[in-house]
Amino acid sequence: MRIRFTKMQGAGNDFVVLDETRQRLGLTAAQYRQLADRHFGVGADQILSVRPSPAPGIDFEYVIHNADGGEVEQCGNGARCFARFVADKGLARGDRIRVQTLSGVIEPRLGVDGRVTVDMGPPEFEMALVPFDDAGLDPQPDGGWHKWHLALGTQPDAPIVAVAVLSMGNPHAVQEVADVDAAPVREQGPRIEHHPRFPNRVNAGFLQVVDRGRIRLRVWERGAGETLACGTGACAAVVAGIRLGRLDRRVDVETRGGLLTIEWDGGNAPVLMTGPAVTVFEGEIELQDAGETTR
């Protein structure tokens, strides 16, 4: 099967974008993995599918698959690329759209400077977690704010990390570090991702506070490994920092792939994320036949 695709990136978090507005491609998990593969495919952290409106008042459906082929609820950098894609392809009427994701409706809008701002909705602090057990977790509720101590292993000297746990539609566990360049992202990231506490796995963020309006961030993404930037990870890190009294309401987030700006007024206010969205190239690829068609 031969398909057309667009390769995009937002702060270095890269995507294969598929136009399914007229016809569903019916790809299998193995085919999503092939598209994401940097040696045998196009190469991407996530595959984004653009589908027609699923309901009145909604412009599009936005379906996200991680590089490992699994479907996920949300992707922030992808949301900006999604908005740029539907505008550039003439699929959207205005510069503001309403998009259905697995975790709710988000509202991206194109800025005059080429950047895109996305209303990501409010953060959630009551995530579904596997009940704590002595072997893996010591819960430390902190004034209603969920800050947990995770043991990364069962041996007595296993490292224990304190993480703030929240959802931006998708799950995040964020820890503060003194120096993000020296942070053990590749060692701890997979162990946090697969920690028994998180039934659906989790994205692991490592945040360094520079000052009240600036942080540096690296994220080990669920289903993709460390990426150059994670939009929902940036939202989660800033929300965590604000809740802990360490950050102001507008924060610049330095990632290895570029700068994102996150704003949050607290409580049930939506989180606003602003950053770049760039088309890299377009092409066609022959996909192998393998496995069962997914949603």
Residues that bind ligand LBFN2T5F (CB under 6 A): 13, 45-46, 66, 72, 75-78, 170, 203, 221-224, 227, 230-232
- Taking the complex as a whole, the smallest distance from the CB of residue 41 to ligand LBFN2T5F amounts, in Å, to 18
Nearer to ligand LBFN2T5F, 70 or 212 (CB): 70
- Alpha-carbon distance of 47 to 27, in angstroms, equals 11
Write down the catalytic residue from 75, 229, 242, 272: 75
Residue 268 among known ligand-binding residues: no
What letter does residue 137 receive in the DSSP assignment?
E
Amino acid found at 31: Q
Residue 76 among known ligand-binding residues: yes
Segments in the chain forming alpha helices (H): 29-36, 76-88, 185-193, 231-243
Joined together, the tokens standing for residue 186 give 């590749």
Of 41, 4, 59, 95, give the one whose Cα is nearest residue 277. 95
Joined together, the tokens standing for residue 47 give 């595959």
Q: Is 235 a catalytic residue?
A: no
- Taking the complex as a whole, the smallest distance from the CB of residue 209 to ligand LBFN2T5F amounts, in Å, to 21
- Taking the complex as a whole, the smallest distance from the CB of residue 217 to ligand LBFN2T5F amounts, in Å, to 11
Nearer to ligand LBFN2T5F, 212 or 226 (CB): 226
- Alpha-carbon distance of 1 to 29, in angstroms, equals 15
Nearer to ligand LBFN2T5F, 31 or 167 (CB): 167
294 within 8 A of 51, measured Cβ to Cβ: no
- Taking the complex as a whole, the smallest distance from the CB of residue 267 to ligand LBFN2T5F amounts, in Å, to 22
Write down the catalytic residue from 63, 86, 228, 230: 230
Q: Is 81 a catalytic residue?
A: no
- Alpha-carbon distance of 162 to 153, in angstroms, equals 14
Residue 203 among known ligand-binding residues: yes
For residue 140, CA distances in Å to 143, 148, 168, 171, 192 come to 9, 5, 21, 18, 17
Residue 57 among known ligand-binding residues: no
Nearer to ligand LBFN2T5F, 212 or 270 (CB): 270
Q: What amino acid positions are annotated as catalytic residues?
A: 75, 230
Per the annotation, where are the binding residues for substrate? Answer: 13, 46, 66, 76-77, 170, 203, 221-222, 231-232
